[in-house]
Structure 1
Amino acid sequence: MPTGATLPLQASSLLPPTELAARLRAGGGLVWLDTAVPDAASLSILAAQPVEILEGNIFRDAALLRRVLQQHQQPHVPDLGAPSGGLIGWVGFDGQFIFGVYPQCHVYQHGSGSWLDAVTARTAASSATAPQRMTGTSLELEPLMDKATFCGLVERAQQYISAGDIYQVNLSYPWEGVWPADLDPLAFYLRLRDVSPAPFAGYLDLAGMQVCSASPECFLKMSGSHIVTRPIKGTRPRGVNRDADHRLANELVHSPKERAELVMITDLERNDIGRVCEYGSVQVTQLLHLEKHAQVHHLVSTVEGTLRPEVDQVEAFLACFPGGSISGAPKKRALEIIHELEPHERGLYTGAIGCFGFNGESQFSIAIRTAWRRDGHMHFHTGAGIVADSDPVHEWEETRHKAAGLLAAAQGA
C-alpha cells in the first residue's frame, strides 16, 4: 500500500457507529457523515480531533482548499468508495465554509456490519459517556415568518415568472428557538435520527457550532473522475395509513406540475455538470423516481458524468454550487431573486455538508432538514419550489410538512 493510503485495512466488527461517535467526541471535532436508512452498499464515516480548522468562503478561498488537499493527497483506490481522510465540514448557501482537516477516517460498512479501517483497540476499549437520550427536555421552536408573508413572497416570485425572468425559484424562511442548557446536541441528533431517518444524515461539531442533519438529498458524489448528483423536486406528506400513503404517492408521481419542475431542475443539473465533464459523458440515468422518507414522499433524478482530466473536485463543486433544486432556474437570476425576496440569510441551509476526500472520494449532501446550534440557539429553515401554477397556501403547507421531522425531534421522547 502506498504511503498515506490508510484504507482498506482489516475489517473490524467492534462498535456500531453510535457507540464509536460517543467515544470519539471526547477528543473534540466529531464529524459523522451518517446514513440512518442503510442498505448493503451504504457507508458511514466518522472522524475526530482535526489537525486544523479551515474557514473562509469557497468563492474566494478555493485555493486554500486545493492547497490542503494537495498536501494530503492520497492515491485513489477505485473500489474503495470512501474517503480515507479528508476535509470534512460544510459550505453555507453564501459560500462560507468550515472544514476540519482529518488525516484519517473510520468507515463503517452497513452491509457487513464492520469497519473498513482497523479501529484501534484503545478507541474501542476507551470509556465514554454515552449521550443521554432525550426523555424530558424539549425545544420550543417558532417560525420567523407567518403564512400571509410567505404567501406574499410566493406571489411576488410568480410575478417574476410571468415576466419571463425565471421558470422556478426556491423560497424559504427560518425557525428559531432557545437551546436548553441541559440538552446534549448529540442526543438531539440521535433523536432526529430515530424520528426522521435519512440517507444523507450527519452530525458535525466544529468551530463552536453543532450541526444535526436529516437530509434526503445527495448534492454531489465524486469518485476519481466519476461525478453524480441526485436532485429532488416534488413533495407530498406521508399518509396516515397504507391506502392514504399510496394515494398521496400516486398523486405526486402523476402531478404534471411536480414532474415538470423536476425535469426542469434535472436539465439544469445536467448543464452544470456538463461544464466540467467530458463531452458526451453526461447522462440522466434515473428520472422521476419516487422515494419515500419518514415524513414525505419526493421525486428524484440521477445525473452522472466523467470529469475532464484537468478538472479537480473543488472546481467541480463550484460548477454545481449551490444546487439547482434549492435555488431555481435559470440559476443566476433565481439566486438574485432569492436574495431580494428572502428577508433572512439562509446560513447553512441549502448549502452542502460532506467531505473532500484526500484519495479522490468525495461526497456532499444538500443541507436541508438540517438544524444547527450556535450561541445557545437552534436554527433551521424550510422552503418550497415555486413555479407559475403554484398555490401559495399549498406551498406554505409543504414547508410545514418538511419541518415535521425536526419539530418532532425537538419535542423529545
Structure 2
Amino acid sequence: MPRTVRTFSVENIKDFKQLLLSWSQQFETALWLDSNKYQQHYTSFDSALALEEFTAIKTDYSNAFDKLKEYQSTTKDYIFGYISYDVKNDVEQLSSKNYDGLDFPDLYFFQPQKLIFIRGKNIEFHYLNMVADEIQNDFTDIQAAAIHIDIARATEENIKIKLRIHKAEYYAKVETILEHIKRGDIYEVNFCQEFYAENATINPAAVYQHLNDISEPPFASFLKMEQQYALCASPERYLKKEGSKIISQPIKGTAKRLISTIDDAQIAADLARDEKERAENVMIVDLVRNDLSKTAKKGAVQVEELCKVYSFKQVHQMISTVVSEIDPQLHPIETLRSTFPMGSMTGAPKVSAMKIIEHLEASKRGLYSGAIGYFTPENDFDFNVVIRSILYNEEKKYISYSVGSAITIKSDAAKEYEECLLKAKAMKYVLTNAK
C-alpha cells in the first residue's frame, strides 16, 4: 500500500512527544511505541505512533497465527497490534478458563492510515496516499495541541486495589509449584498474580505518561482500542526480526534501585553474581535457544550476551541476548509461532509450565505476558513482552495489573512475594499515589 512520506525537524523532542500523545487521543485507535532514548543495540526508531484503522484483524485464539499470516501477507504494509498470552491455545492443546475482567480480543492488528516515526530530531509522517493531504495540517495541529495530559488528575481519589490471590494463598501455591519441581514435572515456572480495581475510572493517557516518566523503559507502549487500553512500561523485548536475523532478549533476575550510589552499584553487582538469579536466566536462555533452533539455519543460534545487568529507573534487571539466522524465504509468522509465548513468562519445559500456570493462577492473563509490536512492509517485526503494564476496560470500569516471578527449586515463597510487590510498585503508585 503506497504511503506518502514527509519529514519535519523539531528541536524539543520531549515536548513534541507529549503534544503527539495528547493529540492522538482524539482517534478511536492509537498505538504508541517509545524507546525512551534507551539506545540499546537493535533499536529501529526512537518512537512511533500508529493511528486509525484502514484495515484490521481482531480474533480469538482459534487459528490465530494462520489468520495473522494471511492478513500480514495480503496487507504488505506496516501493521501494528498485539498477540495475547492466550494465543498459546492455538500453538498447543491448552485452554484458558480463569476469570477475565478485561475482555480483550486474543489477537488484534491494524494497518494505520496515519503513521509517525521519531528518529532523533526528525519527525517522519508516513501516511496512506488517501490521507496524505492531511500531513501539513496534522503537523501544525500537533504543535498547537494543548497538553491536556494532567498527571496530577490522572485517577480518581478512591481507587481501591484488590488482590486476586492473597498472601497466604500465594505461599501455598508456591509450595505446590515446588512439589511439581521436586517430582520433575518442571524446572521453573513463572507464577503470576493479578491486582485489580472495580468500578474505577482513570485518564489512560495521563496514567501512561506518569508510569512512563517514573520508569522510562525501552519498550514502552500505549494502546487505545476504542474503550480498551494497555499502558505498558516494559523493559523486555520478546522477539525482533531484522532481515534474516532473529533477536530475543529474555529477562530473569530483578533487584531494586537504591538511593545511595555506592549501595546501588553494590546491589547491581550482587545481582550479577547471584547464583539463583543466574540459574533462572540460564534456564530461560536454554529454552529460547531451543525455540529459536526450530526455525534457525543449522548451527545459527548464538548467545550474544549472557546474564548482563542493565539498570532502569525502578529496578536492575538481568538480561540475556540470544540470536539466530533464518532462511530469508521463511514466513515471519513462523518464527513467532514457534517461540510463542516467550519462555521468560512461562518456564521450562514450556508446555508443562503453562498447564501448571493455568491450574494455579486465578486470572486469565490475556494481554499481560503477551506481546505488543509491529510488522514492516519488508517482513521485519519487533515485539515487546507485556509486563509492568496497566490494562483498562473503560466501559467495564475495570483496571488490572499483574506481576510474577520465576519459581525454581531454590525459591523462597516470602522472597518471591517481595519480588512481586517490587515489580508492582510503579503501577500501584501511579494509580493510588501510594508507594
Per the normalisation by structure 1, the TM-score is 0.90
In structure 2, the partner of 1:28 is 28
Q: 1:13 aligns with which of 3, 10, 20?
A: 10
* Stretch moving more, 58-67 or 350-359: 58-67
Residue 406 of structure 2 corresponds to residue 385 of structure 1 = yes
Report the alpha carbon displacement of residue 170 of structure 1 after superposing the two structures with TM.
Answer: 0.5
In structure 1, the partner of 2:289 is 270
Equivalents in 2 of 1:226, 1:5: separation in Å?
26
Equivalents in 2 of 1:363, 1:288: separation in Å?
22
Q: Secondary structure at the match of 1:166?
A: coil
Report the alpha carbon displacement of residue 295 of structure 1 after superposing the two structures with TM.
Answer: 1.7
Equivalents in 2 of 1:30, 1:11: separation in Å?
21
Is contact 2:57-2:110 (8 Å) kept? yes
Summarize deviations over 1:228-274 as a string: whole Å, max 9, x none. Answer: 00000011111232222122212211111111111110011011011
* Stretch moving more, 385-394 or 287-296: 287-296
Q: 1:62 aligns with which of 54, 62, 65?
A: 65
Q: Secondary structure at the match of 2:26?
A: helix
Summarize deviations over 1:252-300 as a string: whole Å, max 9, x none. Answer: 1111111111111001101101101111221110111101122211111
Report the alpha carbon displacement of residue 37 of structure 1 after superposing the two structures with TM.
Answer: 4.4
Is contact 2:52-2:114 (8 Å) kept? no
In structure 2, the partner of 1:79 is none
* Stretch moving more, 133-142 or 160-169: 133-142
* One-letter amino acid of the counterpart of residue 125, structure 1: T
* One-letter amino acid of the counterpart of residue 13, structure 1: V
Equivalents in 2 of 1:118, 1:316: separation in Å?
27
Name the structure where helix makes up a greater proportion of residues.
Answer: 2
Q: 2:111 aligns with which of 77, 83, 101?
A: 101
In structure 1, the partner of 2:96 is none
* One-letter amino acid of the counterpart of residue 69, structure 1: Q
Equivalents in 2 of 1:376, 1:338: separation in Å?
27
In structure 2, the partner of 1:170 is 190
* One-letter amino acid of the counterpart of residue 204, structure 1: L
Is contact 1:21-1:30 (8 Å) kept? no
Q: Secondary structure at the match of 1:135?
A: helix
Q: 2:250 aligns with which of 220, 231, 235?
A: 231
Q: Secondary structure at the match of 2:375?
A: strand
In structure 1, the partner of 2:161 is 141
Residues 241-390 of structure 1: pairs in structure 2 closer than 5 A? 241-374=260-393, 375-390=396-411
Per the normalisation by structure 2, the TM-score is 0.86
In structure 1, the partner of 2:2 is 4
In structure 2, the partner of 1:39 is 39
Equivalents in 2 of 1:363, 1:203: separation in Å?
15
TM superposition outliers: structure 1 runs of 4+ over 4 Å? none
Equivalents in 1 of 2:150, 2:24: separation in Å?
18
Residues 182-193 of structure 1: pairs in structure 2 closer than 5 A? 183-193=202-212
Residue 427 of structure 2 corresponds to residue 406 of structure 1 = yes
Report the alpha carbon displacement of residue 58 of structure 1 after superposing the two structures with TM.
Answer: 4.8
Report the alpha carbon displacement of residue 34 of structure 1 after superposing the two structures with TM.
Answer: 1.2
Q: 2:138 aligns with which of 123, 132, 151?
A: 123
* One-letter amino acid of the counterpart of residue 140, structure 2: A
Equivalents in 1 of 2:337, 2:275: separation in Å?
32
Summarize deviations over 1:99-133 as a string: whole Å, max 9, x none. Answer: 22225521111xx2212446822111125453331
Equivalents in 2 of 1:44, 1:123: separation in Å?
17
Is contact 1:195-1:409 (8 Å) kept? no
* Percent of residue pairs identical: 29
Give 5+ residue unaligned stretches, structure 2: 88-105, 128-134
Equivalents in 2 of 1:167, 1:23: separation in Å?
48
Is contact 1:286-1:302 (8 Å) kept? yes
Task: Kindly report the root-mean-square deviation, in angstroms, between the aligned alpha carbons of the 2 structures.
Answer: 2.1
Give 5+ residue unaligned stretches, structure 1: 75-84
